[in-house]
Structure formats: C-alpha cells, structure tokens
Amino acid sequence: MPNPDGDTATGCPVHADATTAPRPWTPGLPEPRPVEQLLLPDKTPVWMVTRYEDALAALNSRRLSKDLGSALPELWPALGYDGRKTILNQHMNLADPPEHTRLRALVSRAFTPRRVADLGERIQKITDELLDGVAAAGTADLKDAFIAPLVSTVLYEMLGVPLADWAEFERNTYIFVGLGSSSSTEEVIASVGWFEDYLTRLTAQRRAEPGNDLISGLVQANVDGDALADLEIRSTVMLLLLAGAETTINLLSNGILHLLRNPHQLAELKSDPEKLGPAVEELLRLTSPVFTVVYRFAKEDLELGGARIAKGEHVMISLAAANHDPAQFTDPDTLDIHRDASRHLALGHGTHFCIGAPLARLKARIALRTLIDRFDDLRLAAPDEELTWTPSLVANSLDHLPVTVTAPTA
C-alpha cells in the first residue's frame, strides 16, 4: 500500500490528487503515460492506466477482477461495499466469469438485436417530435430540450415504465446517476431506496403480466433452466440507468459540440449521410463519453505497463487517455470523420464490452442524421469559452449546449 505522503512500496510516485494530473484536452485526467499510482480526491490510492496498449491489456486481463469483494478490505468503505448483495452490485458489470458469463447470457436473451432494431422507428418519431419543439423555439439548450429527453424516453419505454411514473422515475434517475451533481449523499441513498421499492413492485407486475418491454424480457429470460433472480433483475436495471442514459447523452452533447466546432466536416456529413456511421465512431473516440472505467482489482500480484500491482489493489482505466494516445491515433485531439476510429475503446473491450453499444450507436445515428438534415444553420448560441462540464473522473458530461437553429428553406 502507498504512503499518502510520498512514494509507494513499489517505488512509483503517488500524485497528490488525481484530479490535478495534467491533461489539456480533458482537465482532471492524466495524459497517456506508463501506469502509475494516484490518489483520488477521497485520498484512496488507485493505479491509473492511460496508454492504449496498457488499457487494452487491462480490459482483457483475467488477472483483474470486477468483483468488489476482490478489493483490499481497507478499500471497501470508499467503494461503498460491505460484503452484502445489493441492488447496486448484483449485475454483470461487477462479476467475473463464470458468473459474468451466466448473467450476460441471460440479459442478452432479453436485450436482443431484434429488440434494438425494432426501436429504430420509435427513436425516429421521438427525435422528430423533440426537434419540432427546438425549431419552434429557434434557440434552445439542445441537451435539455432534445438529447436528454430523447435518451430518457427511449430508455423508459424500453424498460416498460408506466407513463404515470415517468416524472418520479426521472427525478430519482437524475439523483442516482449523478446528473444532479449537487445531490447530497442522503439524497442518493434515498433514491436508491426508492428504486429498490419501485423495481420490486414493477418486476412482480411483469412476472404476473409480462409485456413486450425489457423488464418482461429479463423476467422471462432462461438459459438451460437458469433464470435471473429478482435482485439480479433490479440490479441490471440500475446498471442500464448508469451505463445507458448518461453515456449516450454525453456522446450526443459533446459530439454535436465538436461538429459545430468543425463546420466543414458538419457540412460534409449533411451532403453525404453515408459517412455518418464512421463519424459516430470518431466522435466516440474523440469525446470518450466515459472518461474512466473503475472497479478492477488485482486477483494476484502482477505487472501491468511496467508497474508492480499488489493483490487487491484498485486499477482504473482511462478510456479517454487511451483514445487520445498519439501512438495509436495521429493528431488524436482533432476531429477527423475520415479517420478509421474503429479501434477506439470508448465502449470498452473484451468480456465487459458494452452490451448496449448497438442501441447507443442507433440512437446516435438517428439523432445526428435528423438534426443535421433538419436545420440549415445550426450554431452555438453562446461563446465556446462559456461552456462548462461537470467535474468528474468518470463521465464527460457537458452541462449545457445552447444553440440557435434555422429550418431548411422550401
């Protein structure tokens, strides 16, 4: 374990605060460099992986565990873990094979490619309706008026949340996911309790009367006689709220901003929609909606990127730094819709590759194509220097995206 005031037992320096490590394009996270140990703002130590090759190795390593129980016990308080099974830790993203294999197989039975593809028409309709409102206003915060409502509406409908419950569901999602950065610890705990009660009732209703929604699919999922327990279903929904909502909101908010900063490339996408698919991959790489993936713990003493990591120590992987590694991507801080960005790590890699990636890409393609086609003169309504991001080591969350629009002329 490190000495918070100096060097670690391995001889690797500990930075005073991970949030002050230099990185001009993403304030608060380190640039690509050898694996090193940092102190998080709460003064707990973490090994930070930033170079692409090291990140790829870490994402694929079976010597790193996602199970919170694999962490050193002294790290448990900072991880919010006390050894109990809860709605927050019984999903596939905090499990190792073979349990991860089991959970992902069952969730995949509900989260099918057909289910995602069938959402396309509905996503288009919601997109058109929301952009009608933006067009009528002329000036709008595109994040609040279009992006966030699109993502949340698709998610709530997909889960099968009754319309009458949307307002309360959204309020608690806002607190739980961290979109309300001013939320207190007490408010977050209360929102988790609300979800526990609400999802218990909703899951019971879907067991009694299944529909075509995702929760019904989770209830009915079966692989060789095995099924998800109610707690695993509730925990999977919480994972989808964390991974499915903010990630897509961040991709679209920051992606649109980068296109507005590069009007020639925006105009090229408008004239040639076939380039949109590769452009979405480049926006994923450039913006890295999730800065850092957390919760990996050494199963044994190991070496990674030249660093010696002891059993139980915490490892974080900076997807953003890896996606901006100049050893992998030429001129990495520049938007280039012609670039082959398919090797990016924005959605993870290997065993824990994002199960919602097809849906995120579908929403992004529909939203961007419609927005670009709909308006001839989409531009920022505030100076670029006035834009702000919520301080975070994990999420690349733009606070607001004020724009003005002009509809196409007849």
Contact present, 210 and 160 (Cβ < 8 Å):
no
**Residue 194: which residues within 8 A CB-CB, separation 6 or more?**
168, 172
Residue 155 burial (10 A CB sphere; 0-12, 13-18, 19+): buried
Residue 25 pLDDT: 40
- What confidence score (pLDDT) does residue 29 get? 61
Burial class (CB in 10 A: 0-12, 13-18, 19+), 355: buried
In this prediction, residue 11 carries a pLDDT of 28
pLDDT score for 33: 84
- At residue 313, φ and ψ (nearest 5 deg) are -75, 155
Tell me the Ramachandran region of residue 180: left when phi exceeds 0, alpha when psi lies from -120 to 50, beta otherwise. beta
Task: Give the SS3 label for residue 139.
Answer: strand
Can you give the pLDDT of all 410 residues of the chain as single tens digits? 232 222 222 323 333 344 433 343 454 566 788 899 988 888 899 999 999 999 999 999 999 999 999 999 999 999 989 999 999 999 999 999 999 999 999 999 988 888 888 899 999 999 999 999 999 999 999 999 999 999 999 999 999 999 999 999 989 988 887 655 566 788 888 999 999 999 999 999 999 999 999 999 999 999 999 999 999 999 999 999 888 788 999 999 999 999 999 999 999 999 998 999 999 999 999 999 998 998 999 999 999 999 999 999 999 999 999 999 999 999 999 999 999 999 999 999 999 999 999 999 999 999 999 999 999 899 999 998 899 888 778 888 899 999 999 866 55
In 3-state terms, what secondary structure has residue 404? strand
pLDDT value, residue 112: 86
Burial of 32 by CB count in 10 Å (0-12 exposed, 13-18 middle, 19+ buried)?
buried
d(CA 249, CA 167): 18
The amino acid at 299: K
Residues 239 and 93: beta-carbon distance below 8 Å:
yes
Q: Going by DSSP bridges, is the β-strand pair 307-309/314-318 parallel, antiparallel, or unpaired?
A: unpaired
Amino acid at 213: D
Which two three-digit tokens encode residue 94?
A: 């905090």
pLDDT of res. 384? 87
Contact 124, 153 (CB under 8 A): no
- Give the per-residue pLDDT at 409: 56
CA dihedral 399, 176, 350, 287 (to 10 degrees): 0
Q: Report helix, strand or coil for 21.
A: coil
Q: How many CB atoms lie within 10 A of CB 101?
A: 13
Domains defined for the chain, CATH in brackets: 36-406 (1.10.630.10)
pLDDT score, position 48 = 93
pLDDT at 393: 81
DSSP string, 60-88: H-TTEE--GGGS-GGGHHHHT--S---TT
Rounded CA separation 373/313 (Å): 49
Q: What is the CA radius of gyration of the chain?
A: 21
Q: How many C-alpha atoms does 182 have within 13 Å on its Cβ side?
A: 1
> What pTM did the predictor assign?
0.90
